[in-house]
Amino acid sequence: MGMRRIGVAMKNWPVIAILGSAQFVMVLDGTVMNVSISTVVDDLDTTVDAMQAAITFYTLTMAALMLLGAKLGDVWGRRRAFVIGSIVYAVGSLTTALSPNVTTLFIGWSIIEGLGAVLVIPAIAALIADNYEGHARVAAYAIIGAASGAAVAAGPLIGGFMTTYLSWRYVFVAEVVIMAGVVLFARRIDDRTGATPSRIDVLSVLLSAAGLVSVVYGMLQSKNWGWVVPLHPPTIGGVEFAPLGVSPTTWLILLGAVLIWAFVARQRRLSAAGRPPLVDIGLFRILRLRSGLTVLLAQYAMTAGLFFMMPVYLQMTLGLDALQTGIRIFPLSISLILFSILGTRLSLMWSPRRIIRVGQLLLVLASFVLLGAVEIELQSPAFGAGMFIAGAALGLLASQIGNVNMSSVGEAQSSEVGGLQGVFQNLGSSLGTALIGSVLIGALATSFAGLVATSSLPEETQAVVAEATSGGVDIVPAASVPELAAEAGLDDAEAAELERVYAESQIESLRVALVALIVISLGSLLFSRGIPGEVLGRPDEDEPAADEPDEDEPAADDGEMKGAVS
């Protein structure tokens, strides 16, 4: 039985190669942009804040419209949606490669590529379910996780090399070529479900998209506007916009929560009326799926936060170029691939819950190691060890979550669950970049103000610096501070002191952001309770039917739809 199913995987290797190539490109984008931040900022004459917004909205576009993409996959057929999405993504990559300014980059990367991805990502998950069974399916999802890991591994090095010696634009040109190959060979993929024409509720799409955008945009702006107490709120007609004396951040998050509640209520009404909802809310009664999606969200929030803060530290504080940054991140990348493979092997002996919890605990350990490793001069090997441990943790998580989620339902709902995976994955990435970025930038302003006040700078100089940074502190290379100080009229000694203060402020803000990462890591442990405690998809066992309940969870009277690997 085991050899037969492994043989199926080998027989269908072109399918996983095509789907894995698309997954590789989706993940490569973010890692390339992260290590290229400082170069892109200079090239397009923009700021780190603007790049944080572009990175956030790239994943937010996907999160906001992923349910629509999954539904279109059902309506058009999953393979057709996969092909159309790949073409749209290639158009976005070409636009990004040719972008003359940050606005064009935002349109090409954050919007057009995001729109292509909302069709591709749910289709990948669903097409694996269509083309593989049993342990071959477990292995296929692990291979997709390894493809993500390979992109994380290669991204910093490819992006670093291209950015340092050629141009970051060539990476996006290469993506066009890869996606063209994906489209050319997509006919090899079997789409057993085919098209199932259905009506799409436009109001549901608008409610879900507006709700998610409102929440994440509020968090993104918290560094400027403040969370509750207004700091620097936007002005309308020359008047600060802070209704009832409360920051717009609070109001946007509350608005988003209301819109999401309205979306959920809308789905229930549609189901009760016999009309197809955008997503079956009943799926969230499945404990396994609910836990898997929550762990997935936390995993991607931590990954995005880590991949935003570390390049900022390595480039802006230490002054490393993109290639040097990629080399410093490489221990995480290589361990992610290794432990994705190890996680697949362990899945034959250990339950997904054990593997996932080991990964979560390793991520907490990695955060503590990194917390002690970051310094103004990075000389300790602890940084590399921390990155390696973080990669091991993320690799173990990546090897399990996809199969846990997709095995929670039968094949008929695989596209819908694939869409939910895409939503939680990209919402996690958006929240991670927005939240950790806001903590980092907000802590930088607070730390800088405090250190300036206790520095050896003359009082009149302190007053000049305080006035110049009253609207917030931008992330700039620490080495550029003396030049900026000289332009402000400070002498050489004062400029050197200000550079020291700014560099120390960056270190302190990074530590605050790492503490936030530790909190998220510990919190994610609470969400893994519903992950299966038994080994899934043994190659030498017959799996239960998709609608058979898990033995350790009630099913008859709690409304939960449990399924094992079909």
Tens digits of residue pLDDT in 133-146:
766 777 777 777 77
Measure the CA–CA gap between 325 and 303, rounded to whole angstroms.
16
Please compute the mean of the pLDDT values over residues 394-419 and round it to a whole number: 77
Picking from 11, 31, 350, 357, the residue whose alpha carbon sits closest to that of residue 163 is: 31
DSSP H helical segments within 166-275, as ranges? Answer: 169-185, 202-225, 248-272
**pLDDT-above-90 percentage for the chain:** 12
Interior CA angle at 143 toward 140 and 145, to 5°? 115
Tens digits of residue pLDDT in 182-220:
998 888 787 766 666 677 888 998 998 898 888 878 877
Picking from 337, 306, 315, 322, the residue whose alpha carbon sits closest to that of residue 153 is: 337
- Evaluated on CA atoms 389, 395, 396, 398, the torsion sign reads positive
Output the six-digit token pair for 440. Answer: 């980092």
The 3-state secondary structure of 225-236 reads: HCCCCCCCCCEE
Measure the CA–CA gap between 476 and 71, rounded to whole angstroms.
43
Is the model's pLDDT at 73 over the cut of 80? yes
Give, as one character, the DSSP assignment of residue 239: E
Give, as one character, the DSSP assignment of residue 240: E
Is the model's pLDDT at 177 over the cut of 90? yes
Is the model's pLDDT at 33 over the cut of 70? yes
Tens digits of residue pLDDT in 554-563:
333 333 333 3
pLDDT for 176 equals: 93
For the chain, give every domain's residue range. 201-277
pLDDT for 475 equals: 62
Please compute the mean of the pLDDT values over residues 90-116 and round it to a whole number: 91
Output the six-digit token pair for 456. Answer: 């050896």
Give, as one character, the DSSP assignment of residue 314: I
pLDDT for 556 equals: 35
**pLDDT-above-70 percentage for the chain:** 85
Determine the residue type at 40. V
CB 307 within 8 A of CB 31: yes
pLDDT for 148 equals: 73
Tens digits of residue pLDDT in 310-354:
877 887 777 777 778 778 888 887 888 788 888 878 888 888 899
Rounded to two decimals, the pTM is 0.74
